[in-house]
Amino acid sequence: MALIALAADKGAPGVTTAAVALGAVWPRPVLVAECDQAGGDLVYRLPAAAPDDGTAMLNPARGLLSLAATARRGLRPDQIAEHCQRLVGGLDVLVGITGAEQAQGMTWLWGPLARAFAGLDPVDVLADCGRLGAGSPLIDLMREADLVVLFTRATLEQVAHLRERLAVLATELRGGPPIGVIVLADPRDYRASIAEVDRIVAGAHQRLRAEASASGPPPAPVTVLGGLALDPKGAELLSGQWGGRLDRSLLIRSAREVAATLVGRLAARPAAPQPGARPEPELEGRR
């Protein structure tokens, strides 16, 4: 089904926390896949479900690394399941590599992995791509995604970095998936933060479109899709066990809204463009 790539430009705005929160409330079958090249965090944060309602540690050796080892000669969607693990609470995850060194031998993986994820029916995949540096090989995964979602906090420096990253990414993803932006915002000035990021992103994208060559495809559309609550208590609970309190946390409540928005975007996707057709160069602001 759908592949949604989640990432950030700089800092640690909360991509992994968002991936788990969105996975926990996703309205369709879902897998959270840790594709962060710097190494995954889930093994250290969340308990695996064990028989008889018990808990266990996630097995760090079963995940992306074991999948990559078996996938050298091609990767089929039906090979993924045996490398996944289930968290307490029922969320299925593909745990990431343990450190950045392992990523070096895996640059070939991201394109085939993305195609296998996209073929995983009826499961949607939320791929935690971590931080996107310049020239990240994860661009191969993003090109195959149905939607790329960048997370940012509303601070001046994070938004400035995001703007630079968007300019590069929207050009690299020309003719590919649209890019959405989710703002991690303090509930006290939630709407103002999102509106401010929207204004900056829309202005930057307008300039990018004006500068794009008339002959080539236009840059990928960029839309601010909404906000996720900055909620330290909720984020802490998400690195422990799922419980009733978490269910009512601001983080989870806002994650429900974001999940509904993302699923709505996926449903409204235009059919794949015909060869030679020029995709709509539309910038959709958040209304």
Binding site for ligand ADP (CB under 6 A): 8, 12-17, 41, 184, 228, 230-232, 235, 251
Identify what 7 binds: Mg ion, ligand ADP, none; CB under 5 to 8 Å per kind. none
Of 47, 231, 86, 95, nearest in space to 153 by CA:
231
Can you read off the two tokens belonging to residue 16? Answer: 């992994």
Amino acid identity for residue 34 in this structure: E
Burial 269-287 (b: 16+ CB within 10 A, else e): eeeeeeeeeebeeebbebe
Identify what 136 binds: ligand ADP, Mg ion, none; CB under 5 to 8 Å per kind. none
Helix (H/G/I), strand (E/B), else coil: 130:
strand
Q: What are phi and psi of 150, to 5 degrees?
A: -100, 135
Nearer to Mg ion, 92 or 198 (CB): 92
Whether the CA torsion 153, 158, 160, 165 is positive or negative: it is negative
Total length of the chain: 287
Nearer to ligand ADP, 173 or 237 (CB): 237
Whole-angstrom Cα distance, residue 210 to residue 203?
Answer: 11
CB of 187 to ligand ADP, least distance (A): 10
CB of 252 to ligand ADP, least distance (A): 10
Whether omega for the bond prior to residue 112 falls within 30 degrees of 0, making it cis, is no
Whole-angstrom Cα distance, residue 145 to residue 2?
Answer: 7
Identify what 193 binds: ligand ADP, Mg ion, none; CB under 5 to 8 Å per kind. none
Of 39, 38, 286, nearest in space to 183 by CA:
286
Check binding of 193 to Mg ion (CB under 5 A).
no
Nearer to Mg ion, 15 or 25 (CB): 15
Nearer to ligand ADP, 12 or 118 (CB): 12
Can you read off the two tokens belonging to residue 225? Answer: 């899709």
Check binding of 17 to Mg ion (CB under 5 A).
no
Amino acid identity for residue 46 in this structure: L
Nearer to Mg ion, 16 or 85 (CB): 16
Nearer to ligand ADP, 8 or 173 (CB): 8
Check binding of 16 to Mg ion (CB under 5 A).
yes
Identify what 225 binds: Mg ion, ligand ADP, none; CB under 5 to 8 Å per kind. none
Identify what 142 binds: Mg ion, ligand ADP, none; CB under 5 to 8 Å per kind. none
Can you read off the two tokens belonging to residue 135? Answer: 């020239």
Pairing of strands 124-131, 92-94: unpaired
- Cβ-closest position to ligand ADP: 14
CB of 15 to Mg ion, least distance (A): 5
Identify what 67 binds: ligand ADP, Mg ion, none; CB under 5 to 8 Å per kind. none
Identify what 228 binds: Mg ion, ligand ADP, none; CB under 5 to 8 Å per kind. ligand ADP
CB of 227 to ligand ADP, least distance (A): 10
Q: Which residues bind Mg ion (CB under 5 A)?
A: 15-16
